[in-house]
Amino acid sequence: MKNNTEDTHSVRLMREQDILQVSIIETDAFPHLFPPTSFRKELQRPISTLMVAASQLNPIDCERPFNKFTARMNSKAETYRSGNTGWKPGMEFLTGFIFLWQMSKEETHIMSIGTRRSHRRKGIGELLLHSALTKAIQEKVNSFTLEVRVSNTPAITLYEKYGFSHRGSRKSYYTDNHEDASIMTADNLHSTDYRLLMAKNLSLLSDRLKN
């Protein structure tokens, strides 16, 4: 499964050689996550689906517009918590990932979505979400669920754009600050209305990714 948008971004299933980059993206995006995800194990787990977004542009060119320390591009300590992007010449430059568990034949749960800090607020997370929903619809999944911090307004706004609504709460769900989580669900993914919503959002997203 591969989803291309304007030849500069693509989404595909994660492979074993992606583990280093994805692990670094996760650590940078979720510094308080413990234990970190064992992506090697999840790649073998039947209920897991992992997808990655890749940029077709030169990694240095990708980073330059977002990094005020461009004079020191060889040192990533200013831009990444670990001081390492995980990318090496000859590799695809991964910009984000989405991690899913299939809870049943009809329900998928989003475990996490992470993007590189240099590519946040650029539509990469939405591209991953749209791609995951498209794949799930093709596989006859009818509902998606997730948890999100109640303070994470940008993420909640994105999920609402895709038909997710608040269905409940998990008190003190996040261990770093005991913040509550909102449980959100999108269902009836096979309805005509939802297919129209997906098509509309893809058109808007494609325009965003061009810029």
**So which residues are the catalytic ones?**
147, 159
CB 94 within 8 A of CB 87: yes
Smallest Cα–Cα separation from 117: which of 163, 65, 188? 65
How many whole angstroms separate alpha carbon 168 and alpha carbon 12?
A: 32
How many whole angstroms separate alpha carbon 29 and alpha carbon 23?
A: 10
How many whole angstroms separate alpha carbon 105 and alpha carbon 140?
A: 8
CB 117 within 8 A of CB 78: no
How many whole angstroms separate alpha carbon 113 and alpha carbon 148?
A: 11
